[in-house]
Amino acid sequence: MTKWRVALVDDHPIFAAGLKKLLEAEGDFEVVALAHSFEEAVAKILPIEVDLVLLDFNIPGGNGLELLRKLREAKKGTVFLMLTVEEDEKVVVQAILEGARGYVLKQDSPERLLRSIRACLSGEVLLSDLVYSRIHHLVKRAVPQGRSTIREKLSPREQEVVRLIAQGKSNREIGKLLFISEKTVKNHVSNILQKLGLSDRQEVIFLALREGFLEEAK
């Protein structure tokens, strides 16, 4: 069986060891690097091939955003997922702008974490429910409402899919909420990207934020 190669960056050795055990118990993950500081992460991760990096925001010697930026420059094909207790909405938005595929809180359940990891590896963007609520609060305060490309170009069903994508829902979760198949959701996502001229789900999220679409949709 081909295994996903994972690197973990967290300054709490006990938490990191528990996370390593959780992932490797799944059978299709191999933790190939374990680091507890900025410098250690750079030294251990840069020289190796890795599919996924799980990193905390608060790490000795720097922060997770700086590390994300540095590693992404050298690891173009690697997926990055923030796993942290940091709930500040500006940090969340900046992490996604810097290329994080997901932002999950340590308070979330192990089941939610595993679903998020697998969804991110398949190309989706996952956010903790609490993280989404904080982003939505930021949008409500800071984003001016105006003409929406999303409303002009997408069907009502496609707009529903955009709203759920921006909430960090996976294709499977969207399908259950809208009572449609996962394959139909994938078709909707492809059509949305084509109609809006976007390349991935991250761009969909930030277009929705920028246009104030999430607040309009309430």
Per CATH, is 144-216 categorized as 1.10.10.10? yes
- The residue assigned the tokens 């059509």 is 191
What is the predicted pLDDT for the residue at 142? 42
What is the predicted pLDDT for the residue at 42? 95
User: What is the C-alpha separation between 65 and 83, in angstroms, rounded?
Assistant: 12
Q: E strands of the chain, at which residues?
A: 4-9, 29-35, 52-55, 58-59, 62-63, 79-84, 102-105, 126-127
User: What is the C-alpha separation between 155 and 159, in angstroms, rounded?
Assistant: 6
Distances (CA, A) of 99 to 67, 75, 110: 12, 11, 23
The string of pLDDT tens digits covering residues 59-107 is 999 888 899 989 988 888 899 998 888 666 677 777 877 778 878 888 8
What is the predicted pLDDT for the residue at 174? 94
- The residue assigned the tokens 């190796």 is 48
Break the chain into its structural domains and give their ranges.
4-135, 144-216
Higher-confidence position of 88 and 139: 88
User: What is the C-alpha separation between 168 and 7, in angstroms, rounded?
Assistant: 23
Q: pTM for this structure?
A: 0.67
The string of pLDDT tens digits covering residues 151-200 is 899 999 999 999 998 877 889 999 999 999 999 999 999 999 999 998 88
Regarding the domain with residue range 4-135, which homologous superfamily does it belong to in the CATH classification?
Answer: Response regulator (3.40.50.2300)
What is the predicted pLDDT for the residue at 119? 82
Contact 16, 42 (CB under 8 A): no
Mean pLDDT, residues 30-50? 96
